Every structure is written in structure tokens, then in C-alpha cells.
């Protein structure tokens, strides 16, 4: 959080702003929000698809609504 506050406080000073943004980027990489993906299992991605058109259709139909 201090890195994000530093970005806000550095407005108007390009050098301080670049340093603060670098700290934010370092923190996000450490948290896994940026950088190489770690969850890639080479399986197809079913995001943005109707569940009834995926291999999860049988499981989903068993959930009580």
C-alpha cells in the first residue's frame, strides 16, 4: 500500500513517479498479479462460454438452484 500511496504523492515529479510505479510493479509481480503465468496446465480455457457447452455441464446441472 505504501507504494501505491507514493504514486499518488509523486504527481508532478516524473522521477519520483517512475520510482513509485516501479515499486508497485515489483509488489504486483511478487504477489503473482503480473509476470509469467503459473497456472498454465495446457488445458483448454472455458472462460466466457456457457457452462452447458463445456465438459462441466453434467456437474452444473446437478447443482440445486
CA 35 to mean position of chain CA atoms: 10
Angle between helices 14-31 and 2-9 (to 10 degrees): 160
How many Å separate Cα 26 from the centre of its chain?
14
8 A C-beta contact, residue 3 and residue 20: yes
Q: State pLDDT tens for residues 30-45.
A: 998 998 877 788 888 8
Tens of pLDDT along 46-56? 999 999 999 99
- The yes-or-no verdict on residue 65 having pLDDT over 90 is no
Contact 27, 7 (CB under 8 A): no
Q: For 2-34, how does the pLDDT look when each residue is reduced to its tens digit (9 = 90+)? A: 999 999 999 899 999 999 999 999 999 999 899
Length of the chain: 65
**What's the pLDDT at 41?**
85
Amino acid at each position: 500500500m505504501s507504494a501505491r500511496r507514493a504514486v499518488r504523492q509523486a504527481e508532478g515529479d516524473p522521477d519520483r513517479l517512475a520510482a513509485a510505479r516501479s515499486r508497485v510493479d515489483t509488489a504486483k509481480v511478487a504477489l503473482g498479479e503480473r509476470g509469467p503465468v503459473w497456472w498454465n496446465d495446457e488445458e483448454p480455457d472455458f472462460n466466457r462460454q456457457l457452462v452447458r457447452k463445456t465438459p462441466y455441464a453434467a456437474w452444473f446441472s446437478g447443482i440445486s438452484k
